[in-house]
Amino acid sequence: MGSTHGNPSASATIDAPLDAVWGVMLDLPSYEQWNPFAYRIDGDTSVGSPILIHVRWANGKTVKSPERIAVVEPPTTGSDGVRRATLAYDYEGFPSKIGLLKGRRWQRLEQRDGGPTTYDTVEDFSGPLVRFAGPGRVAEGFARHAAALKQRAESLA
């Protein structure tokens, strides 16, 4: 669980092929079966699509976070031989509409030939209300999400 300059982050090393992890990430209807943090996501993963993320904090309280899919880069192998994929979405709640809090959550996968898949996620927060967004509790949720993604992908692989 990490946080730099108020930007919550988490990562996991997953013993499953990148394509399998990517499949779990894009299968939004299955989140209810495995994800303790983003326990439900309504919508789809095409760029520009609005999604509604149902979040469960460590204390059990729940909130709904309106977001919009910003980046979908399916798995590709780079010239360096490393496979990568990226999913990102932007926070669209009221504070963002009035310029007080911007947030883009990045989820990146990377796999070297024959190695495990590395999952990294970070929320790039900006604006005067960042400290009220609770970067620490978001980082804790991201850590639970990363651990659950690892467990789910490894169990399916």
Q: Is residue 4 over pLDDT 50?
A: no
Q: Is residue 94 over pLDDT 50?
A: yes
- Show the DSSP H helices in 15-134 as ranges: 18-26, 31-34, 94-97
How crowded is residue 16: how many other Cβ atoms within 10 Å of its Cβ?
Answer: 20
Q: How far is 104 from 55, CA to CA, in rounded Å?
A: 16
Torsion sign (Cα): 75, 79, 81, 82: negative
| Domain assignments of the chain as residue spans, ordered by start | 2-156
Superfamily, domain 2-156: START domain (3.30.530.20)
pLDDT band, residue 3 (cuts 50/70/90)? very low
Q: What is the DSSP string of 119-139?
A: EEEEEEEESTTGGGG-HHHHH
- Rounded to an integer, the average pLDDT of 66-84 is 97
Q: What is the pLDDT of residue 132?
A: 85
Strands (E), the chain: 2-4, 7-14, 38-42, 50-56, 62-77, 83-91, 102-111, 117-126
How crowded is residue 128: how many other Cβ atoms within 10 Å of its Cβ?
Answer: 10
Q: Is 115 helix (H, G, I), strand (E, B) or coil?
A: coil
Answer yes or no: are the C-beta atoms of 1 and 138 closer than 8 Å.
no
Q: How far is 103 from 124, CA to CA, in rounded Å?
A: 5
- Rounded to an integer, the average pLDDT of 7-17 is 97
Q: What is the pLDDT of residues 126-144, one digit of tens each?
A: 999 988 888 999 999 999 9
Burial 69-92 (b: 16+ CB within 10 A, else e): bbebeebeeeeeeebbbbbbbbbb
